[in-house]
Structure 1
Amino acid sequence: MLCTIAIVLASFATGVLSASTSKPKPWGFFTNNTIFTTSGRESVTYPRFTQLEDGTILATTAYSGPSPPYFPIYSSKDGGASWTHVSDLHETQTGVGFTAQPAITHLTFPLGGFPKGTILAGGNIFGPNFTRIDLYASTDGAKTWKFVSNVATGGRANTTNGATPVWEPTFLPYDNSLVAYYSDQRDPLHGQKLSHQVSTDLVHWGPVVNDVAYDLYEARPGMTNIAFIKPINKWILVHERPIGNSSSYGVNYPVYYVMADTPLDFGSNPDTPLVVNNKTAPNASPYVAWSPYGGKLGTIVVSDADNMGVFTNQAGGDPAKWELHATPAGAVYSRAVEILDNRPDHLLIYGGDTFNGAAAGLHAPFSVTSLDLGRVLKASETQYN
């Protein structure tokens, strides 16, 4: 969370990190393929994507530098090998712009007068005295956008316990509704908690429901991300769990996960620390994906901010069965991981700026790495062969 605010508000020197210059093959494997490169003064963080039924990928990122800021939308129809700029998502309600934390998905059923296939996107707006999560829709493949609704509003961006902002949305179409998950500091009983709200028409939003809320006020669970594990018919929610300046397995933002029968019931289930061999833990801004590849239970893949590698579990989330495998993809703040629906052995990792690199003026391109998941699962913790 502190990384987000620092990256958005800081003034950076010029500099660009290099990405691969070789041309990737469609539906192939490649490392650090550039989606777009900034001029050197802007930063790209918090990459997000949605994968459409025809295999098209729409990807976006927070883009700090333009005034007002916006979310650029790019499209790939060949597994991330080539990309086309589709549009820029501008917020139209406050004039502040989309400051941070984009979210993008698509409707798998008609909802609220919008047809199946509608692209839904939004993010966080950091106003002078508010944070605001808004939802937009596109019915023409992300070419044009229309404001739909305000999901949640809180106080100004401030990570101090006792402040009241909202953060880090993610959207999930589920059971003829849209679920909006976010980090929530508005509850006086919690420094921060994870919440969700449900809409059956994309305009009106139901009550705030707790997904992860600790009795310890200082605990600040954050950065909800969710995947479905088909063989066991369970949903998994991953999140970071900082508590003051405490450390767990050598990290200050340890990653925890919750399993539930539906994506609406995380709050009634315990969460579990993600630890490898009782010694190694991911740190901060987790992202989770599931692939049917890798055995009868498939493979859960979790990314974090500090590791180039990914954490995997081929035992349905068994706490004793996590492994760490090296990858050539860069460690990036809030990088996203994706499994291609029509090629479940393809693991895509989206990259951008690191917190320290951005602060030093070393700006990286918005990029994607496509890896053979089978090869990843054979890699050691430190060596990708």
Structure 2
Amino acid sequence: MLVTAVAAVTSLLALTAQAWPHRPYGPQPWGYFTNNTIWQPPGKETVSYPRYTELADGTIIATSALGGVSPGYFPIFESKDGGAHWTYISNLTDQVNGWGMSAQPALEVLSKPIGGYPAGTILGSGNSWSQNGTRIDLYASTDIGRTWHFVSHIANGTAPNTTNGAHPIWEPKLLQYEDVVVAYYSDQRDPLHGQKLSHQVSYDLKSWGPVVNDVALPLYEARPGMTNIAFIAPIKKWILVHETPIGNSSSYGVNYPVHYVMADTPLEFGLNEDIPLVVNNQTAPNASPYVVWSPLGGEYGTIVVSDADRMQVFTNQCGGDRNEWEIHETPAGAVYSRAIQIFKKRPDHLAIYGGNTYDDSAADVHKPFSITVVNLLQVLKAPQGVIPA
């Protein structure tokens, strides 16, 4: 049995090496590459929670949360060649609270004008916090991320505290949908829920509508968090992924199992079923999921989901059918709230952003902010070796 196990592992490694061949000449524009450094922090800063937005011309604007700095800020970087080369362009800072931009950045680019801001305006948000409260604010840049100015307060909560019964807010996600901008976030303010997922809508970027529930589970102890969203064009559905810890319990061997919701619009998730994401009734992603969709991979394209603990990604080529999830190898490392991206004009390019895991940061490890770009079609052919988190 030992010989058989060793042979299986050797075969898996050989197949993985074939899927991700070594490229000795460094990252090439619009190519495929592994762990290309975007930025190496110069001191004690730790990089996690990477985020990005892609402009109409393919330019990528990326940022991350930084640990070990006070007041916090989000460094902004730009790539014009598919992530091969990067330029630092600015910092997104807290301009109104005096608390810093503490964690959980979010970026979105306007595809059409809204509130006097032209198409191409980059919106930025994050969680600004201190012992006085948590605050999700909106900033805008009209010069491709070179400068930023405060636009509005979206939502306010009490001081950061993950204990049920406290009332902070967390983890914003921005989306332009038709003629509105939607701000999603994790919300502990409802006395009926230890935490729920909410959104608010703005028609002008300055005033924000009422709080709407996206995922509010009947069990008080359930804490759905970390909203991420993608559109699945062939079936005209939206998908929301989130983690769902319930106290100290585990599901399929993980403590922060990932669930998803499908809806006709990104404003109606609260009307629909919350579904566990499980592969072969035995393996679930764990924590801080991110979701994208590519038109490649068959009639329904491919949904790709990342979690915080694995190098692999989870895929679905059947429009989100709960019984059709797979897990596939990638060469990219695990990252706390790892972001993934499908390039708009190159749907075979799957980008995976790198940084620290939660445990890395706790251990004072300082990994660079990085990007891996792989061929999605090769990912789908890669081994389905299920490696424990």
Tell me the TM-score range normalised by the shorter chain.
over 0.9
Residue 224 in structure 1 maps to residue 217 in structure 2: no
DSSP 3-state at the match of 1:358: helix
Amino acid at match of 2:190: D
Residue 269 of structure 1 corresponds to 272
Residue 100 in structure 1 maps to residue 110 in structure 2: no
DSSP 3-state at the match of 1:203: coil
Residue 86 of structure 1 corresponds to 89
Q: By how many angstroms is 1:23 displaced?
A: 2.2
Contact map agreement 1:283 1:306 (CA 8 A) in 2? yes
CA distance in 2, matches of 1:283, 1:361: 22
Deviations 1:266-302 (A, max 9, x none): 0000010000000000000000000001111100000
Residue 252 in structure 1 maps to residue 255 in structure 2: yes
CA distance in 1, matches of 2:95, 2:318: 45
May I ask how many residue pairs the two structures share in their alignment?
Answer: 365
Contact map agreement 2:46 2:365 (CA 8 A) in 1? no
CA distance in 1, matches of 2:253, 2:49: 24
Residue 34 in structure 1 maps to residue 37 in structure 2: yes
CA distance in 1, matches of 2:49, 2:25: 25
Q: 1:127 aligns with which of 118, 126, 130?
A: 130
Residue 373 of structure 2 corresponds to 370
DSSP 3-state at the match of 2:347: strand
Residue 333 of structure 1 corresponds to 336
Deviations 1:151-184 (A, max 9, x none): 0000000000000000000000012110000000
Q: 1:211 aligns with which of 209, 214, 228?
A: 214
Q: By how many angstroms is 1:96 displaced?
A: 1.3
Contact map agreement 2:327 2:386 (CA 8 A) in 1? no
Residue 43 of structure 1 corresponds to 46
Q: By how many angstroms is 1:197 displaced?
A: 0.1
Task: State the identity %.
Answer: 67
Amino acid at match of 2:77: Y
Q: By how many angstroms is 1:66 displaced?
A: 2.7
Query: In structure 2, do the counterparts of structure 1 residues 357 and 21 end up closer, same or farther at CA, with 3 Å as the change threshold?
Result: farther
Contact map agreement 1:21 1:33 (CA 8 A) in 2? no
Q: By how many angstroms is 1:40 displaced?
A: 4.3
| Structure whose CA Rg is larger | 2
Residue 309 in structure 1 maps to residue 293 in structure 2: no
Residue 355 of structure 1 corresponds to 358
Residue 13 of structure 1 corresponds to none
Q: By how many angstroms is 1:86 displaced?
A: 1.1
Residue 5 of structure 1 corresponds to none
Residue 19 of structure 2 corresponds to none
DSSP 3-state at the match of 1:312: strand
Query: In structure 2, do the counterparts of structure 1 residues 21 and 358 end up closer, same or farther at CA, with 3 Å as the change threshold?
Result: farther
Amino acid at match of 1:157: P
DSSP 3-state at the match of 1:169: strand
Q: By how many angstroms is 1:63 displaced?
A: 1.3
Q: By how many angstroms is 1:359 displaced?
A: 1.4
Q: By how many angstroms is 1:67 displaced?
A: 2.4
Deviations 1:49-101 (A, max 9, x none): 00011000000000123321100010011110000111111111111110000
Contact map agreement 2:241 2:261 (CA 8 A) in 1? yes
Residue 205 of structure 2 corresponds to 202
Please list, as runs of the form range in 1=range in 2, the aligned pairs for 1:124-203 lying within 5 A after superposition.
124-203=127-206
Deviations 1:99-155 (A, max 9, x none): 000000011110011011100001001111200000000111010111000000000
DSSP 3-state at the match of 1:267: helix
CA distance in 2, matches of 1:22, 1:44: 26
Amino acid at match of 1:194: L
The list of structure 1 runs, each at least 4 consecutive aligned residues, that deviate by more than 3 angstroms after superposition, is none
Deviations 1:217-244 (A, max 9, x none): 0000000000000000000000000000
Contact map agreement 1:335 1:349 (CA 8 A) in 2? yes
DSSP 3-state at the match of 1:319: coil
Amino acid at match of 2:340: V
Contact map agreement 2:214 2:268 (CA 8 A) in 1? yes
DSSP 3-state at the match of 1:231: helix
CA distance in 2, matches of 1:363, 1:256: 30
CA distance in 2, matches of 1:21, 1:217: 53
CA distance in 1, matches of 2:204, 2:364: 43
Amino acid at match of 2:121: T
CA distance in 2, matches of 1:310, 1:220: 23
Residue 243 in structure 1 maps to residue 246 in structure 2: yes
5+ unaligned residues in a row in structure 2: which ranges?
Answer: 1-22
DSSP 3-state at the match of 1:123: strand
